Amino acid sequence: MANVELTHRNGVAIVTLNRPPVNALELTIVEELHDKLDEAVRSPARAVVLTGSGSCFSAGLDVKVVPHYPADKRRRVIMAINRTVHRLYGVAKPVVAGVNGHAIGGGLVLSLACDMRIAADGESRLGLTEVRVGVPFPAVPMMVVQAELDCNAARDLSLSGRVVHPREAHQMGLIDEVNASDTLIERTCDLALSLASGPVYAEVKHQLRARAMARMAQAIADETDPMLEFTLPTQ
Instruction: Write down the number of H helices and E strands in the chain.
Output: 9, 10
Task: Give the sign of the dihedral formed by CA 20, CA 26, CA 30, CA 31.
Answer: negative
Cα separation, 160 vs 203, whole angstroms: 36
Angle subtended at Cα 67 by Cα 61 and Cα 69, rounded to the nearest 5 degrees: 110
Whole-angstrom CA distances from 175 to 15, 75, 116 are 19, 31, 7
Q: Which of 130, 177, 186, 203 is catalytic?
A: 130
Q: Which amino acid is at 93?
A: K
229 is catalytic: no
By C-alpha distance, which of 77, 78, 31, 66 is closest to 226? 78
Which 8-state DSSP code applies to residue 124?
-
By C-alpha distance, which of 159, 191, 150, 233 is closest to 14? 191
| Residues belonging to the active site | 130
